[in-house]
């Protein structure tokens, strides 16, 4: 199994792009954010430990994430795996490195988007309450207002997508996650892609990188 780490600030479009790679190029996606939200809706012990941190926009403790990551990797199928949302700090990058015999990181792809665009992307984001498909009120609206194109269920705003939580998340990104980019840069394993512009334009940039692997 080879891992591709998809990294970037909240709102950079990691989830949207990862879904396209899954649909079109047969990648398997592991999203720690989605996995945590699943645990919360199940009311599990992990979900209980995570929910307070997530609601505030803070990082969930590393030991909780390691449990999630291991479970997801063990369930994971296929050769090409995308990691969306992990590692999010230096300690997590080092932890992932300890698993490299079994799960080596081939490349970290950084979706690069400026602050102003990030904020407007997150505040207008809506997700399906049932299947989790992402939309944007302005950039990617559903065909019918408030209804998921894929499964017909209602769209909601994530509790951590409100303006005050977004500020915390962007701050956490700058303080903790940017170091992860540096970690992979030093190992010649980081490529930055311009993440601004329409979804399909960004996707084409991504495919150029991924197909060269
Ligand atoms: P985004 O990338 O837009 O911030 P995610 O869905 O990836 O959204 O993550 C939402 C929240 O889940 C984060 O703010 C954090 O609380 C938690 N989370 C996800 N992945 C991690 C991680 N690797 N380490 C710590 N917390 C995480």
pLDDT tens digits for range 46-90 = 999 999 999 999 999 999 999 999 999 998 777 899 999 999 999
Please write down the long-range contacts of 199-202, taking CB distance under 8 Å and 24 or more positions apart.
Answer: 199/13, 199/16, 199/17, 199/20, 199/139, 199/140, 202/13, 202/17, 202/111
CA of 149 to the centre of ligand 1 (A): 25
* Confidence bin at 17 (pLDDT 50/70/90): very high
| Residue ranges of E strands in 129-202 | 134-136, 155-156, 190-194
Does the Cβ of 38 fall within 6 Å of ligand 1? no
Ligand 1 lined by 54 (C-beta under 6 Å): yes
Residue 203, pLDDT score: 97
* Whether this model's pTM surpasses 0.75: yes
Q: Is pLDDT of 98 > 90?
A: yes
**Average confidence (pLDDT) over 26-41:** 94
Determine the distance separating the centroid of ligand 1 and the alpha carbon of 15, expressed in angstroms: 11
CA distance 122 to 160: 9
């Amino acid at each position: 199994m080879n891992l591709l780490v998809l990294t970037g600030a909240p709102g950079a479009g990691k989830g949207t792009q990862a879904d396209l790679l899954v649909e079109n190029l047969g990648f398997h996606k592991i999203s720690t954010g989605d996995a945590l939200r699943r645990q919360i809706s199940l009311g599990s012990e992990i979900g209980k430990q995570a929910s307070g941190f997530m609601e505030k926009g803070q990082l969930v403790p590393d030991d909780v994430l390691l449990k999630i990551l291991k479970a997801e990797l063990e369930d994971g199928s296929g050769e090409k795996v995308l990691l969306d949302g992990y590692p999010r700090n230096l300690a997590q990058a080092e932890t992932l490195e300890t698993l490299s015999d079994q799960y080596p990181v081939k490349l970290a792809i950084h979706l690069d988007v400026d602050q102003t665009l990030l904020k407007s992307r997150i505040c207008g984001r809506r997700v399906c309450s049932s299947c989790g498909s992402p939309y944007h009120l302005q950039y990617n609206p559903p065909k019918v207002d408030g209804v998921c194109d894929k499964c017909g269920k209602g769209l909601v705003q994530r509790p951590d997508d409100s303006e005050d939580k977004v500020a915390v998340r962007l701050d956490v990104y700058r303080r903790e996650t940017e170091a992860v980019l540096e970690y992979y840069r030093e190992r010649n394993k980081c490529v930055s892609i311009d993440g601004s512009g329409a979804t399909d334009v960004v996707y084409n940039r991504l495919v150029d990188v991924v197909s060269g692997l």
